[in-house]
Structure 1
Amino acid sequence: MTDLHRRGLLALGLATGAAAGAAAEASAAETRARQLNPGPTLTPAVTEGPYYLAGAPARGDIREGLPGLAVELRFHVFDETGAPLPLARVDVWHCDAQGRYSGFGDAPGREPPAALKAARFLRGVQPVDDGGVATFRTVYPGWYEGRTTHIHYKVWLDGRTLLTSQVFLPDALNEFLYLQAADYRRERARDTLNRNDGIARQGGEATFAAVAQGDDRFRVDFDVVVDRQARPRAEGGSPGGPPPGLSVDGLPPDFPGEGPGGGPGRRPSLTGEARVAALLPKAST
């Protein structure tokens, strides 16, 4: 072996070692970065509730001519790395302006009229597009006793449910619309607000949507971050059942409800300054 050859091999070895060292250092730096910035926080799962129906129609417009304020509902779906998840599907269902769900009566366990039982309004499934967005045309949801304003949804991938959860809306806006919009007016005041709804409190801020007002509709945008490897949990945990310590309607098990079949009943409505305080963000300290 010539001296030139030896020097060449030595140089190659040094270069290879330097490259390996640089790669190891880069890998370590990447690991440290992941530890400091572990990626987006997964969207909390909450209870499915008693009003889900499998086999919702594949459609973007779920209104079926129902009265109510028009809403463009946009789910922005991301995986655990923060990348859009275009192969997913979003399944949506919620109540109408007067608090009724298609396929059900006005409370769990109560037999609905035949037309309502056969209906499938305000239910639909949409694929997520290449940008990670699934869009629905719907109406602003109403309310029913024992629950604050909310929209149910599931995220599916390859036939598996990755997430079952609910979307909540700004309560000051809810209050204004229910008092001022004719389709939403009721004889009694709403009994449950975001502040005292057990499911909204369990989900936290990550389950609240951003709402913008357009000329002819409200636009509701909601970011959803799911784990592609998620598996449905057993009854009693999310998404298969209610959060620990709560009924399917988000109430403590000893809450004095009046609804049939163990469902939520009417609770005393907040009034006056206490209601205003519950509707507005807490004052900073």
Structure 2
Amino acid sequence: MRENDPSPTSRRAVLLAAGTAGVATLASAFVATAAGNDPEQTSPFPSSLPGATTPACVLTTVWGAGPYYLDLDRVRSDITDDRQGIPFRLDFTIVRTSQGCRPLEGAAVDVWQADAAGDYSSNGATYLRGTQITDHADRCTFHTIVPGWYAELAPHIHFKVRPDNHTETSSQLFFPEDLLKELYTRRPYAQRQVPEQPNGRDDRYRASGASLTLAPTADGDGYRAAYTVGIA
């Protein structure tokens, strides 16, 4: 099953003000900033990715969950199941912008994505889907793989934050195109014809990629990245 609708179900652009004091004034903002991790990690993959760092002040966009979100509440950190691909660790931090960026403990974070062949799990399969609950430090971690491409869409990882039973915020994260071009020369991604521009074909990426692109760093035989999500 592949998600083939490039149109978001909802959009809302907001400005992330620099500094905690500025962020706290945005009473109804959703903001996300990417950050790398340990620069001393070693790997056979490239570790320096020009243009992969998100600026402190960004104009970003909230995207809907799309047609293939499944409300499974399958709480687990490792969502790979039997899917083959380059290992990827994604660390989320969730904060309340309306409360001085206070850490948000106990929020449910859902993640779902395509596998290396560009397929989503369906018909009872649950690969590359999972839920984590933020700890006392407002964090949670997912162990997955680098997603493959499909249709004309930039490779991405969907996420949804549910701080309570009444509210939720959905969006998606992208990868630097130079990194994708390198990783897609490796198995199992190389079993398909790689697009010349994995990201550049997608109007969503062109509209909001700067604020939603991760900054991966080498981590053993794979990569890792961190992302901070601020909700009102």
Query: TM-score scaled by structure 2?
Result: 0.71
1:211 and 2:211 correspond: no
Alignment partner, residue 280 of structure 1: none
Q: Please give the per-residue CA displacement for 1:54-99, whole angstroms capped at 9, x wherever unaligned.
A: 1241111111132111111111111113221112110000000110
Shift in alpha-carbon separation, 1:189–1:215, aligned structure 2, 3 A = closer
| Higher alpha-carbon Rg | 1
**8 Å CA contact retained: 1:62, 1:137:** yes
Q: Which has the higher strand share?
A: 2
Instruction: Identify the match of residue 93 of structure 1 among 89, 105, 112.
Output: 112
Task: Please say which of residues 40-49 and 70-79 is displaced more in the overlay.
Answer: 40-49
Q: Indicate how the Cα distance of structure 1 residues 189 and 163 shifts in structure 2: closer, same or farther if over 3 A, else same.
A: same
Q: Report the equivalent of 2:4.
A: none
Q: Percent identity?
A: 33
Per the alignment, residue 129 of structure 2 pairs with 123
Provide TM-score, normalisation by structure 1. 0.58
| Partner of residue 172, structure 1 | 178
Distance in 2 (CA, whole Å) between partners of 1:86 and 1:200 is 30
Give the number of the structure whose residues are more often helix, by fraction: 1
Query: 2:52: which partner in 1?
Result: none
Matched residue, 1:202: 207
Relative distance call for 1:158 and 1:42 in structure 2 (3 A) is closer
Name structure 1 gaps, 5 residues minimum: 1-33, 104-116, 228-285
Q: Comparing 78-87 with 89-98, which one deviates more in the overlay?
A: 78-87
Shift, 1:206, TM fit: 2.0
Q: For 2:23 and 2:223, how far apart are their aligned partners in 1?
A: 34
Match of 2:22 in 1: 37
Once the two structures are superposed, residues 228-270 of structure 1 have per-residue CA deviations (whole angstroms, 9 ceiling, x without a partner) of: xxxxxxxxxxxxxxxxxxxxxxxxxxxxxxxxxxxxxxxxxxx
CA separation in 1, counterparts of 2:227 and 2:161? Answer: 13
Asked if 2 retains the 8 angstrom alpha-carbon contact of 1:75 and 1:224, the reply is yes
Q: 1:256 maps to what in 2?
A: none
TM-superposed CA distance for 1:202, in Å, is 2.9
- Whole-angstrom distance in 2 between the partners of 1:47 and 1:144: 18
What is the one-letter code of the residue matched to 2:81? E
Alignment of 1:75-154 (within 5 A): 75-80=92-97, 81-103=100-122, 117-154=123-160
Q: CA RMSD in A?
A: 2.0
Residue in 2 aligned with 1:72? Answer: 89
Deviation at 1:214, TM superposition (A): 1.4
- Count of residues in Structure 1 that have an aligned counterpart in Structure 2: 179
Partner of residue 249, structure 1 = none
